[in-house]
Structure 1
Amino acid sequence: MSVSQSAVVTEEGELEERASTAIVPWWSFTKALIAAGVLRLAEQGRVDLDRPIRGQSYTLRAILQHRSGIGDYSGLAEYHEAVAKGDDPWSDEALFERVSPEAFLFRPMSGWAYSNVGYLLLRRMIERTCGTGLPQALHELVLEPLDLRHSRVAETREDMRATIFDTGRPYHPGWAFHGIVIGPVAEAALALHRLMQGDLLTPASRAAMLNAHAIGGALPGRPWLTTGYGLGLMSGTMQRVGMARPLHVIGHSAGGPASTGAVYCASQDGYRRTVAVFGPGSNEGAAEDQALRLLARM
């Protein structure tokens, strides 16, 4: 990663010196915040994580953990072509014509497959339940309670022009159908620390968020040795050259046009820090490796 922006939060919740305040797209780290919003609605009795959705065979919990069997648009050539041309985003209905939420890759809860379409369904559920758009709903449910004062859901190309990576500024955030938070790198690190250490969620909700489904082992070109996924959170073990033993981490990687990121905390004694790293390019492994270096104080 040629030029990157980073921030480190200590175990006590304080930002270390030189934490970046640059505005960046949080990309799929936004999923952790969406998951926290859904869990808060469940705590309030407004949604049920385990009730099948509108006659479907999948539940909110299955979608949160990417175990619903719903497909994704990331493999669609026409999606990437439209983004590259600078087209305006498809409507939800046009997306569903290409990736139907009712055409399953597997029986719900019998497998695992990453699905941005599933998280779009979560967005729509949050908006129906709260009676407002995702920007306001996520602000009220998560961003404001976590005291993230300079972070928000991006809605327009103009919003993206506030971010620091030049080649990503023309991107329309509507192409990430579940929504994208943009904000300071430092606030991304604070967001994860406060989710894990604060009182936004009940202990039971946090435990549910951390209860990971095992996915597999090492990922080529990335520091992962084991991988799992909870409710909106990636988890597993990472190791880089020079580390005596693997480190268990929790958080989410992030990637989109022109930039990548990694927001992770370590849960082992002696390594209780939270870090966020964002930089240009498409190499998520490089962002993860730099985040791991900061977690391990290397």
Structure 2
Amino acid sequence: MAVRKALAGAVAVVASLALATPALAAGPRTHHDATRQALRANVEAGAPGVTATVTEGRTTWSTAEGVGDLRRGTPRSTADHYRVGSITKTFVATVLLQLEAEGRISLDDKVDTWLPGVVRGNGHDGRRITVRQLLNHTSGIFNVTEDKEFQRAYFLKDGFFAHRYDTVDPRRLVEIAMAHRPDFAPGTSWHYSNTNYVLAGMIVERVTGRPYGEEIRRRIIAPLHLRATSVPGTRTTLPRPASRAYGKLAETTTGPSYDVTELNPSMAWAAGEMISDSADLNRFYTALLTGRLLPPRQLAEMKDTRPVPDAAGERYGLGLIERELSCGVRVWGHDGGIHGSISSAVTTADGRHALALNLNGDWAGDPEAVIEAEFCGPGHK
């Protein structure tokens, strides 16, 4: 899928540039057999391990396949914390839409209104770009993680091991993007850009006077009791339990893999730094789609989508991906990729059926096949 490829290239690994024991929380159910088979296929395709949780009403089904620690041979756990990458974007967009509902900001405000002079240079002009265009990736602003020097410093082996613990200021991320020409004039096309959400996080901080992560904690994490979810800032480790995360740190998907579990996620910041687990992600997207986090008007704005180029059946709203699956089922959510971690979380619009999954390797696997199996497999057609 186009967005997943962008995530893998933008935040996970340059290789993709072109992202406890298995358990059943509820008893075995026939219509999950296809899902389990698709998860195993991801491991057979080369992913170290995968963990997934499904919620249907009050029923939860969880399973894990493969290895969580290649050195020790320990299995993946259904309780694993993991880096969720660009799933962070849905949290950031939700906070901005809450601020709009409170009358503190308009999505039609120009970026320059809140960040004067920040988006300027080489054809970029924050006086012509709206907050809405940041959130739906129609701003044309260059994607910072497509910068070749940035890739060498943070995604390739030598640079990663030299800089994995560095703190990167969000303004520096924007400066790197401003050194390039825009991809297109604002509002005339669509291109996935992590810079958009770095700027969105900066706007949250300007509007509220507080760190964007604190706003996410106060407005989303605490009210929903998301105990496994955090905005780590510069913390380099994962909370326990957690599996190790592995990446190729190369421009190919062959060759050795490296343990990339520890890193300073400020290199992704508001575009992709958050940590969660599968159960929390299901709770978040279910609450979001059923109106617990946003008033009807703001939720409608978030779900106002446009087609994603080269991705049949996929549309992008405000930090939210809409997918029409092969069987006609429509799901909403987001994908996420960061070093050693590829994630997907989706739910139906009524919140009755949700799935979240994570692979602890960033070079192999097919989360889309798992989504198709769960929502379109036997028992759900």
TM range (shorter): 0.7 to 0.9
- DSSP 3-state at the match of 2:109: coil
Partner of 2:366: 286
Q: CA deviation at 1:290?
A: 1.2
Any gaps of 5 or more consecutive residues in structure 2?
A: 1-41, 44-48, 64-77, 114-126, 155-159, 246-258
Which residue number in structure 1 is paired with residue 138 of structure 2?
67
Residue from 300, 307, 315 that aligns with 1:214:
307
Are residues 136 and 93 of structure 1, via their aligned partners in 2, closer, same or farther at CA, if it must alter by over 3 Å? closer
Deviates more, 1:94-103 or 1:227-236: 94-103
Deviation, structure 1 residue 59? 1.0
Pick one of 309, 313, 317 that aligns with 1:226: 313
| 1:51 partnered with 2:96 | no
**Equivalences, count:** 283
Q: Deviations over 1:10-49 (max 9, x none)?
A: 1x3x351337321011111111111100000111111111
The aligned residue for residue 199 of structure 2 is 121
What's the offset of the Cα at 1:94? Answer: 3.0
CA distance in 2, matches of 1:15, 1:64: 33
Name which of 218, 226, 233 aligns with 1:140. 218
Task: Give the unaligned 5+ runs of structure 1.
Answer: 219-224, 240-244
Alignment correspondent of 1:8: 54
Relative distance call for 1:227 and 1:157 in structure 2 (3 A) is: same
- 2:149 is matched with 78
Larger radius of gyration: 2
TM-score, with structure 2 as normaliser = 0.69
Q: Distance in 1 between matches of 2:198 and 2:128?
A: 17
One-letter identity of the residue aligned with 1:234: I
Alignment of 1:88-237 (within 5 A): 88-100=166-178, 103-160=181-238, 162=240, 163-166=242-245, 167-178=259-270, 179-218=272-311, 225-237=312-324
**TM-score, normalization by structure 1:** 0.86
The alignment yields a C-alpha RMSD, in angstroms, of: 2.3
1:18 aligns with 2:97: no
Q: Percent identity?
A: 24
Separation (CA, whole Å) in 2 of partners of 1:164 and 1:157 = 17
Q: Which residue of 1 aligns with 2:341?
A: 259
* Contact 2:86–2:336 (CA under 8 A) maintained in structure 1: yes
- Give the Å deviation of 1:197: 1.2
144-153 or 98-107: bigger deviation: 98-107
Tell whether the 8 Å contact from 2:167 to 2:234 is kept in structure 1 after alignment: no
Distance 1:227 1:62, change over 3 A: same
Aligned pair in 2 of structure 1 residues 80, 104: CA closer, same or farther (>3 Å)?
A: closer
Shift in Å at residue 134 of structure 1?
2.1
SS in 2 for 1:170: coil
- Contact 2:291–2:299 at 8 Å: present in 1 too? no
| 1:216-250 CA distance string (max 9 Å, x none) | 344xxxxxx322100001113233xxxxx343221
